């Protein structure tokens, strides 16, 4: 019979702040009980030997569309959510925002119906990427389904979605201030993306409560020396946090490095990952290292969060501790989850053990080894 505690020993522990040696992660139930020296491990404890590997908080991905063999927009069901969640947890992502890109009203309705009474410890909620975007920066989003925001429509969406809807990507230049305020009153995290906003329009959005920017540099007004656009406003805002896809395809690794230098703790990682799909609104075709639409338009990544962390270290000169914060502490902070992204007493025991080759070896979800 297992003891009342689990102790992860012999690991290099990333607390969310620093990397430490010679400390044991003590788990009781679904929480971290604390960090203790090996000599202070309680007697009734199940020992897990990390074998010198890294022990880190579980990864937090605020923008992902599918996992395993399921794309949520092509199969908006509880069974699909089960498979997606398990695949993500196995890869080290223990908290995620399932994401729907611009789609038909009927599909969004179907997805919300599946989410209404669905519970999984890794699921943070729904991120709607669209449909209130700028068609000029639509990327892979079908123009036929992109709409101008109407207050009555958004109010109805919020009432129907309830607590399932947590985050929205919007084009700020298409929104009136009162509609932004309505979304914020319902606790929705707003992220500027698929936007052709000028610098002034973006800064106005940030001042009015838009907290984040979606897949930095992708599908947005460019940074230009005479018109710094949404990227320039993000740099200058001082508050807006930006997600970035660190696969070397969506943005060059030097762009990642420059963005990190300028944004510091305001830059965090997402995967924007999809899976192959041949039904539904989106046809995602895997082309070796990325997903595209049939016409070649980039439509999603093939990243895991573990790979994104590795890319930050190997290709952008970002220290491991900071790359891990970008995958854990910073996104957790954006969604107000103080119990995630840290290994401290009272935190949820979502943990990942990985080796020096950035291979995930063990995952704990709520204190249970997967």
As annotated, the active-site residues are 272
Report DSSP letters for 282-347, one per residue. Answer: --BEE-SSEEE-TTS-EEEE---HHHHHHHHHHHH---HHHHHHHHTHHHHHHTT-TTSS--STTS
Q: Residue 289 class from Cβ within 10 Å (0-12 exposed, 13-18 middle, 19+ buried)?
A: exposed
What pairs with residue 298 in β-bridges?
Answer: 292
**Cα-trace Rg, the chain:** 20
User: Residue 70: helix, strand or coil by DSSP?
Assistant: strand
Closest to 319 measured CA to CA, from 309, 305, 306, 331: 309
Q: Is the dihedral of CA 97, 65, 255, 15 positive or negative?
A: positive
Structure tokens at 113: 């119906």
* CA 192 from centre of chain: 15
β-pair partners for 32: 27
């Amino acid at each position: 019979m297992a003891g009342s505690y689990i102790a992860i020993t012999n690991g290099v522990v990333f607390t969310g702040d620093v990397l430490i040696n010679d400390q044991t992660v003590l788990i009781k139930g679904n929480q971290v009980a604390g960090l203790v020296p090996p000599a202070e491990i309680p007697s009734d404890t199940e020992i897990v030997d990390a074998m010198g590997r890294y022990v880190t908080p579980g990864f937090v991905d605020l923008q992902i569309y599918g996992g395993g063999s399921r794309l949520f927009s092509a199969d908006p069901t509880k069974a699909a959510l089960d498979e997606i969640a398990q695949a993500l947890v196995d890869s080290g992502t223990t908290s995620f925002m399932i994401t729907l890109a611009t789609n038909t009203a009927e599909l969004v309705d179907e997805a919300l119906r599946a989410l209404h009474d669905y519970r999984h410890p890794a699921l943070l909620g729904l991120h709607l990427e669209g449909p209130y975007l700028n068609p000029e920066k639509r990327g892979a989003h079908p123009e036929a389904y992109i709409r101008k925001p109407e207050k009555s429509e958004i109010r109805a969406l919020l009432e129907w979605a309830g607590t399932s809807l947590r985050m929205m990507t919007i084009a700020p230049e298409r929104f009136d201030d009162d509609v932004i305020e309505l979304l914020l009153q319902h606790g929705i995290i707003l992220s500027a993306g698929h936007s052709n906003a000028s610098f002034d329009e973006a800064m106005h959005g940030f001042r009015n409560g838009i907290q984040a920017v979606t897949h930095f540099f992708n599908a947005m007004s460019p940074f230009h020396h005479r018109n710094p656009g949404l990227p320039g406003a993000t740099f200058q805002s001082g508050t807006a946090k930006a997600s970035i896809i660190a696969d070397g395809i969506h943005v060059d690794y030097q762009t990642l490095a420059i963005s990190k230098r300028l944004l510091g703790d305001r830059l965090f990682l997402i995967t924007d990952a999809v899976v192959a799909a041949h039904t539904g609104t989106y046809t995602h075709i895997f082309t070796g290292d990325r997903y595209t639409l049939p016409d070649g338009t980039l439509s999603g990544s093939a990243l895991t969060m573990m790979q994104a962390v590795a890319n930050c270290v190997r290709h952008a000169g970002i220290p491991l501790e900071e790359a891990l914060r970008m995958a854990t502490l910073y996104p957790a902070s954006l969604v107000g989850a103080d119990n995630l992204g840290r290994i401290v007493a009272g935190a949820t025991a979502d943990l990942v053990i990985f080796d020096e080759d950035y291979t995930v070896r063990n995952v704990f979800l709520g204190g249970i080894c997967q």
